[in-house]
Structure 1
């Protein structure tokens, strides 16, 4: 049998029930609201019976009526926001400067205040507003990978093509994460060896940029200009890096250079080149 059943207190047994769509009234926060809900009755005695999932639906309908009358963002839109911008519930709360579980509670059905609702509604309606929040508050996030993924998706929503990092930029960012106290000179040497070993094993160059012969050895001019202010000091490192940008072969060669050569100082590597 496919009929749904529930316990009827009048009949004192499990019975088949019927559902009828009717106009209902309910009180929320001291005010009465009218909404369309479902009345469940016993097929044998016609008395009203209790079905938990139907009661939950009626309660949601009451909350929806409250949201509509008071200008509170709908639960459906709240649930769409993390998917729309590719960000988790907790990271979104942190991004907005809220308690870590605040947005999660809203997704579970808790009613946001009008102030928080207005922020969420604006985020839902205006991707450029969300992007500005993402840029301004990215330090609130525990992971910069979360920031990068959300930014990439948001730019796609807006219709702006994200500037793609060149391969040499990706390698530099990875080196800054993996290597401790890497100076501009050591960075140049690491890039030179990565390019050379990649060509030796793969038969093609990893970077499109050409290095130049300088007094201290091969130099990528644009990279030199970018980090010249550090002189002999270590370059500030990034906290995290998404290694998925590399193929297995690329990562294997880069990691080998890091392990076997980046343990030396820039001056020692200069003698090698």
Structure 2
């Protein structure tokens, strides 16, 4: 509760007031908007009183509502742009071909037009777009140093994006974090089962990479190249992993595959896949030991695991256990 003092028109003197949350209506650019704001109330008469700071907050809330309704970039994002790209406010205005003080006014709360807002939003979202503008309009800048500093920063950002890794990379790291003594062969099969069962439960594939029908089962070629030096030895484990990169459904399926398939050796998992339709159909007509780079069609993988889910009446990812036990019994 705020008990600072302000002047009350009703009481005709300075009084203590409290601040309450209120639904407020306000007009901006000819349109009326309703938003959640605050009001100051006299603690003696209960009437509303004027407090400059609260009025400023309400004005900002009105502007924020206008921005939201009209798809205008927020002031907070505008303020982040110079820091993100290591460029001053005036140089950024010049780079964009605007008036020298235009961007500074937006930082102070002025509302950009929809056209200018769209440009700022794209700059905020897309470092590659900003780099394109920087190269195209660098002659607008008064200082070569401003160009060089900003270029180095955006190149760093683009490098970070490139190295952030794909969904497949995150899954590999998680498997190496959760599984003990997983070999390259077992890793390949775990990735295959993650992909198949995720499609069965979610109706989409978890990662984009294609797998091939090699002699020893489904293989993701880039993953093979990455870990081929380990040969038959376990891959070095990952000590730390941020599990928040996965959604609840992603993690549930990953954990079930780890529990129900990664308990088996790579050779046993290889035998599992040799019994399954996707690998067998893709290698149809090939000699047993023939090398092949035939891609196992994703549609075939999806179709097979949907059928498995239906056959074994799987309701949750935990039910994957039924299939892993059933196929294990087939090879024994």
Q: Same fold (TM over 0.5)?
A: yes
Alignment of 1:66-85 (within 5 A): 66-85=66-85
State the TM-score, normalizing by the size of structure 2.
Answer: 0.47
Deviation of 1:4 after TM superposition, in Å, equals 1.5
Q: Which string of whole-angstrom CA distances, capped at 9 and with x for unpartnered residues, describes residues 180-225 of structure 1? A: xxxxxxxxxxxxxxxxxxxxxxxxxxxxxxxxxxxxxxxxxxxxxx
SS in 2 for 1:34: strand
Distance 1:66 1:47 in 2: 28
Distance 2:56 2:159 in 1: 39
Residue 64 of structure 1 corresponds to 64
Deviation of 1:26 after TM superposition, in Å, equals 0.7
Residue 211 of structure 1 corresponds to none
Distance 1:160 1:145 in 2: 23
Residue range with higher mean Cα deviation, 3-12 or 145-154: 3-12
SS in 1 for 2:48: coil
- Residue 18 (structure 1) aligned with residue 18 (structure 2): yes
- Residue 46 (structure 1) aligned with residue 46 (structure 2): yes
Q: Which string of whole-angstrom CA distances, capped at 9 and with x for unpartnered residues, describes residues 57-104 of structure 1? A: 100111111111111101111111111111111000000000001101
Distance 1:21 1:153 in 2: 42
Residue 218 of structure 2 corresponds to none
Deviation of 1:34 after TM superposition, in Å, equals 0.9
Distance 1:49 1:154 in 2: 49
SS in 2 for 1:112: coil
State the TM-score, normalizing by the size of structure 1.
Answer: 0.57
Alignment of 1:143-182 (within 5 A): 143-159=143-159
Distance 2:131 2:4 in 1: 47
Distance 1:160 1:52 in 2: 44
Deviation of 1:152 after TM superposition, in Å, equals 1.1
Residue 86 of structure 2 corresponds to 86
**Aligned residues between the structures:** 160
Deviation of 1:15 after TM superposition, in Å, equals 1.3
Distance 2:8 2:98 in 1: 45
Deviation of 1:160 after TM superposition, in Å, equals 6.0
Distance 1:35 1:149 in 2: 41
Residue 101 of structure 2 corresponds to 101
Deviation of 1:124 after TM superposition, in Å, equals 0.3
Structure 2 residues without counterparts, runs of 5 or longer = 162-332
Structure 1 residues without counterparts, runs of 5 or longer = 162-273
SS in 2 for 1:44: coil
Deviation of 1:24 after TM superposition, in Å, equals 1.0
Distance 1:79 1:160 in 2: 21
Q: Which string of whole-angstrom CA distances, capped at 9 and with x for unpartnered residues, describes residues 210-262 of structure 1? A: xxxxxxxxxxxxxxxxxxxxxxxxxxxxxxxxxxxxxxxxxxxxxxxxxxxxx
SS in 1 for 2:68: helix
SS in 1 for 2:49: coil
Alignment of 1:120-199 (within 5 A): 120-159=120-159
Residue 37 of structure 1 corresponds to 37
Residue 311 of structure 2 corresponds to none
Distance 2:41 2:50 in 1: 8
Distance 1:150 1:17 in 2: 48
